[in-house]
A and B are shown apart, each in its own frame.
Chain A
Amino acid sequence: MTSTAQAAGRSPVRRLAGTLHRRPRLRLSLLLIAPLLWLAVLYLGSLAVLFVSAFWTTNSFTSEVVKVWSTDNFHALFTTPVFRQVILRSIGVALAVTALSAVIAFPVAFYTARVAKPRWRPLLVVAILTPLWASYLVKVYAWRLILSQGGFADWMLKPFGLSGPGFGLFATIIALTYLWLPYMILPIHTALEQLPANLLDASADLGARAGRTFRSVVVPMVLPSVAAGSVFTFSLSLGDYITVQIVGGKTQLIGNLVYSNIELNLPMAAALGTVPVVVIVLYLLAMRRTGALSSL
């Protein structure tokens, strides 16, 4: 401390350093002022305005926003059959993507974490995950190539007298699964890797065969990680509209509805935008019960 006191008299820089050192509150506010202005004012501010605008309406002739409080948009949300259908379809797609991701991810993760030779394991993890971080658009584009007419899927199925599924709901689910797969593989792999071997031995000692050990030991211990992965696969699928535009054919999901309303009816778009946010929050609350959030 004496050195700081002596130094205080020397240069303005050292005096400033001394002041900062003695006042942690000042240091903290200097650290936080810029990021808080950015995130709290710019980001939370615009989000707040967006959600408030969900209660505004538009003049149906001029598309001008009318800033009068009303719950018309939310009323329309629940009573218009098209909106209800699209919302239910989006939730269905998100759940299907989540289930499909888990089904594909589990054997892959099980193989890399417990079956493959230990010295190959880290390499296999890199081999799985690195290509999956390739560009979002390129991955959807790959599925566009595969599913297009006369494309790879048609070619593969031709010997069986079948043709590929083409663009549509199924293509959307496959492409979204492909996009979000790493978010499912990674937590499952980590959980399986950390599964203590002596628990498995104990189960075997007590007379359980592999199938029983799997059901009664492995699955319950890995489930929170599946739930953690599902938070990403579910919420990322729910908000997507680009993939649907590229491979979805005529399919409409909630993101597309938001997108198509932005120009003409911003308040309606805002109201529609609250739907995925609310659903995701509810999903998070449900997943919290499984202990998933602590393993995020």
Chain B
Amino acid sequence: MQLSRSARIALRVAAGVGFAFIYVPLALVLVNSFNPDRSASWPPSGLTFRWWSVAWENEGARAALWVSVKAGLGATAIALVLGTLIAFAVARHRFFGRDAISFVVVLPIALPGIVTGIALNSAFSTVLEPLGVGLGLFTVIVGHATFCIVVVFNNVVARLRRTSGSYEEAAMDLGADTFRAFADVTFPLVRSALLAGGLLAFALSFDEIVVTTFTAGPGIETLPIWIFNNMTRPQQAPVVNVVAAVLVLLSVLPIYAAQRLSADTASGSRV
């Protein structure tokens, strides 16, 4: 399509405005973490590294970070196992209800988080609490795993669809048994898809706040919950600023790595 000069210029300007819309807010978060004042007034009166060291010493933020990491690792581990199992079943077998399974996997993330949250919350409190298992880190991991399954599933199923089963059949013709073929042929084929799915699942769990709100017990605080609880407290503002800035820098890493690892990932943290 031959665009006129003015149309090109208009598009450049519009795209430039779009880029500014994307980057300015995040840049402000970074700059604001060096703001010496406790208020969010702009422009900052100066620049200081002081709050970075204060934040580093902050017990609450550190503990919350640790809880987030544990929850993320637990949820990722469960999601990797369950998501891979479903992916193999769906991609390598034909059976009644196959489409229904693909649908159910997406459901925990397609429905609003608050619906998933209260459903799990009422299930946990009616079934688990009489058994003596209260809400806590364990229920957070179960909740997160439920919606992390989909990203592992998506990654692995995309990989399996691109690699036909004939490699495994060839390995078996050469005398490998089912396990041997899996270990020597199938697993290496899906390894990077598993890694990408795992990274995305971890990022998803690390970022989740709604389902966490409903599945965490009173003493359990993940990093998003900590930020949310402290966001409106003026006393905590400088520490929240620094934690937010760190998250801007850190949260894009797993996404970037996952994109590099697997070309067939739709690059989504949710889809």
Q: Residues of A at under 8 Å CB distance from B?
A: 3-4, 7, 13-14, 17-18, 20-21, 24, 27-28, 31-32, 34-36, 38-40, 42-47, 49-50, 53, 104-105, 107-108, 110-112, 114-115, 126-139, 141-146, 148-152, 154-155, 178, 181-183, 186, 200, 203-204, 210, 213-214, 218, 232, 235, 238-242, 246, 255, 258-259, 262, 266, 269-270, 273, 276-277, 280, 296
Contact = CB atoms under 8 A, between A and B. Distances in A.
Interface of B: 1-4, 7-8, 11-12, 14-15, 17-19, 21-26, 28-29, 32, 39-43, 81-83, 85-86, 88-89, 93, 95, 101, 104-105, 107-108, 110-116, 118-123, 126, 142, 145-146, 149, 172, 175, 177-180, 203, 206-207, 209-210, 214, 224, 227-228, 231, 240, 244, 247-248, 251-252, 255-256, 259, 266-271
Nearest to B243: A138
16 contacts: A39-B104, A128-B18, A135-B247, A136-B209, A138-B251, A141-B29, A142-B25, A145-B25, A186-B266, A186-B267, A200-B1, A210-B1, A239-B111, A240-B112, A241-B210, A266-B122
Contacts of B95: 28
Top 5 closest pairs, chain A to chain B, by CB: A239-B112, A46-B123, A107-B14, A111-B15, A17-B177
**Residue in A139, A181, A277 with the greatest tally of chain B CB atoms within 10 Å:** A139
Contacts of B247: 134-135, 137-138
**Residue in B2, B12, B40, B231 with the greatest tally of chain A CB atoms within 10 Å:** B40
Contact of B177 (A21, A154, A181): A21
Contacts of A32: 85-86, 89, 101
A138 B85 contact: no
Given A130-B252, A152-B42, A7 B23 contact: no
**Residue in A18, A35, A50, A235 with the greatest tally of chain B CB atoms within 10 Å:** A35
Given A137-B228, A145-B40, A242-B209, A270 B118 contact: yes
Given A46-B119, A135-B224, A17 B179 contact: yes
Contact of A210 (B3, B17, B228): B3
A45 B123 contact: yes
B240 A141 contact: yes
Contacts of A13: 177, 179
B227 A141 contact: yes
Given A126-B256, A204-B2, 5 more contacts: A111-B18, A130-B252, A178-B25, A239-B111, A239-B112
B115 A277 contact: yes
A258 B114 contact: yes
A53 B12 contact: no
Contact of A38 (B12, B82, B248, B251): B82
A135 B40 contact: no
B271 A232 contact: yes
A145 B18 contact: no
B85 A34 contact: yes
A49 B214 CA distance: 16
A108 B31 CA distance: 25
A138 B118 contact: no
A135 B8 CA distance: 34
A42 B142 contact: yes
Nearest to B7: A210
Contacts of B93: 24, 27-28, 31
A46 B82 contact: no
B51 to A, nearest CB: 14
A108 B269 CA distance: 21
A255 B114 contact: yes
A135 B251 contact: yes
A219 B163 CA distance: 35
Contacts of A148: 40-41
Contacts of B248: 131, 134-135, 138
A45 B127 CA distance: 11
A270 to B, nearest CB: 7
Contacts of B120: 43, 46
B112 A255 contact: yes
Nearest to A130: B252
A43 B104 contact: yes
A204 B4 CA distance: 13
A43 B146 contact: yes
